């Protein structure tokens, strides 16, 4: 835990009494109450940097949540630093970063975030002479983002968007200062090269990977979990996982479940996760009168067991970089329905190993789920194909090996 304050205002953990001097890796990152995609990525990066050669340091705001750092600390010693890089002013953030970097002199600095607020810390890293400045891009973006020309109703011709110009310029210089960029989907990498003129040699797409062995559970796991949830064997069970935030599209799934219930389908839907929309989603479930058919489970650390009990997995996201939970569901042999957004089409091949629907369209989502419920042969076909793809294309060992090679570790 963060348990000491030095004279310059930086929190840190005391090192063990005996230790070997190793290369240092500093992560500028966000904490979180859950272990979501970006946090799971942090866990996996520990395998990229062997503990006998590297000391790992994490700079984040502790009140955001420390669950992921607690998890990492179960397997290796790490050092935590309090650095509120997202909410400080530019000058204060730069000053705090300079203090931290002068103490650590890290060999690598990785920005594991989707925020534009990394600029002060990045400038501090440049001034401090850090040679390996890397950013992980955890979001989906296409080349239509930030259009330079906008049409105003009062003008007969388009004009330059000052906001888009500012954002493009700011990000152009940010990515110019970085030494390497890691992308979790290919579409965003292509967009960055076009929008921000990122040189192709300094960026690489490496898909998220999982430990597929975690999702090969026995029939007893299915029976036990369904009994715990009160789901009969003849009731199709639908599962969605993820933070309860607008971008995850859970309102769309609830609307789709309500539509299925109106059609007379005996479905049971469970949403695992916590977040800002919990109250609103509960109200929507009450409003739709589907409290028996749809339920929020809160944060769960037994996703493999939940997947074992599931018949259909849904990812109704409005935007998604790639989706760990989608890969996990495929590895567990579950037919998946997901939105045709972001990097999801790079995971799911339409009608081959899953179904894709228009993001935000509850009717199309309802129709896809209904199709899977009614067609057992098709459901089993895409489930088998999904397992094969997850095991061959989305291995955590291949992921960490590729990242280590790209970073020169």
| Domain coordinates in residue numbering, the chain | 4-209+396-407, 212-393
- Nearest of 138, 194, 182 to residue 342 by alpha carbon: 138
Q: How many residues does the chain have?
A: 409
- In order along its 409 residues, the chain shows pLDDT tens digits of 344 434 444 554 455 555 567 899 999 998 888 778 888 999 999 999 999 999 999 999 989 889 999 999 999 999 999 999 888 999 999 999 999 999 999 999 999 876 778 999 999 999 999 999 999 998 888 777 778 888 887 778 888 888 888 888 888 889 999 999 999 999 999 999 988 889 999 999 999 999 988 887 767 789 999 999 999 999 999 999 999 999 999 999 999 999 999 999 999 999 999 989 999 999 999 999 999 999 999 999 899 999 999 999 999 999 999 989 999 999 999 999 999 999 999 999 999 999 999 999 999 999 999 999 999 999 999 999 999 999 999 999 999 999 999 999 9
Q: For the domain 212-393, what is the CATH superfamily, name and number?
A: Glycogen Phosphorylase B; (3.40.50.2000)
Say yes or no: do domains 4-209+396-407 and 212-393 share a fold. yes
What is the domain class of 4-209+396-407 according to CATH?
alpha beta
Give the contacts of 262 (CB within 8 A, at least 6 positions apart).
none
Please, which residues have CB within 8 angstroms of residue 400's CB and are 6 or more apart in sequence?
44, 45, 47, 48, 209
Residue 140 three-state SS: coil
Q: How far apart are CA 158 and CA 151, in angstroms?
A: 4
């Amino acid at each position: 835990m963060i348990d000491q304050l030095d004279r310059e205002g930086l929190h840190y953990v005391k090192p063990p009494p005996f230790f070997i001097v190793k290369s240092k890796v500093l992560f500028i990152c966000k904490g979180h109450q859950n272990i979501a995609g970006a946090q799971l990525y942090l866990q996996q990066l520990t395998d990229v940097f062997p503990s006998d050669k590297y000391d790992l340091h994490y700079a984040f705001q502790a009140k955001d949540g420390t669950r992921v750092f607690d998890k990492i600390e179960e397997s290796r010693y790490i050092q935590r630093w309090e650095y509120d890089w997202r909410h400080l002013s530019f000058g204060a953030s730069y000053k705090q970063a300079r203090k931290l970097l002068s103490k650590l002199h890290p060999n690598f600095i990785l920005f594991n975030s989707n925020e534009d607020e990394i600029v002060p810390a990045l400038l501090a890293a440049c001034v401090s002479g850090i040679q390996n400045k890397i950013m992980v891009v955890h979001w989906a973006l296409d080349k239509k983002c930030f259009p330079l020309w906008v049409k105003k109703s009062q003008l007969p011709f388009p004009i330059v968007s000052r906001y888009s110009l500012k954002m493009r310029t700011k990000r152009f210089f940010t990515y110019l200062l970085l030494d390497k960029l890691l992308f979790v989907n290919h579409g965003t990498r292509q967009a960055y090269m076009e929008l921000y003129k990122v040189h192709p040699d300094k960026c690489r797409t490496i898909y998220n990977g999982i430990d597929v062995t975690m999702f090969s559970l026995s029939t007893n796991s299915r029976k036990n979990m369904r009994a715990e949830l009160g789901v009969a064997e003849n009731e199709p069970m639908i599962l969605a996982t993820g933070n309860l935030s607008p971008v995850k599209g859970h309102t769309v799934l609830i609307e789709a479940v309500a539509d299925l219930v109106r059609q007379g389908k005996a479905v049971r839907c469970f949403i695992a996760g916590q977040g800002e929309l919990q109250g609103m989603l509960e109200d929507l479930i009450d409003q739709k009168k589907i409290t028996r058919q749809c339920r929020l489970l809160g944060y769960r650390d037994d996703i493999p067991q939940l997947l074992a009990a599931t018949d259909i997995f849904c990812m109704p996201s409005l935007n998604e970089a790639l989706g760990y939970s989608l890969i996990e569901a495929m590895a567990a042999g579950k037919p998946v329905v997901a939105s045709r957004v972001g990097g999801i089409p790079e995971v799911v091949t339409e009608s081959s190993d899953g179904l894709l629907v228009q993001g935000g369209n509850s009717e199309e989502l309802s129709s896809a789920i209904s199709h899977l419920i009614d067609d057992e042969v098709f459901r089993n076909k895409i489930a088998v194909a999904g397992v094969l793809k997850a095991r061959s294309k989305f291995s955590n060992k291949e992921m960490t090996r590729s990242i280590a090679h790209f970073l020169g570790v």
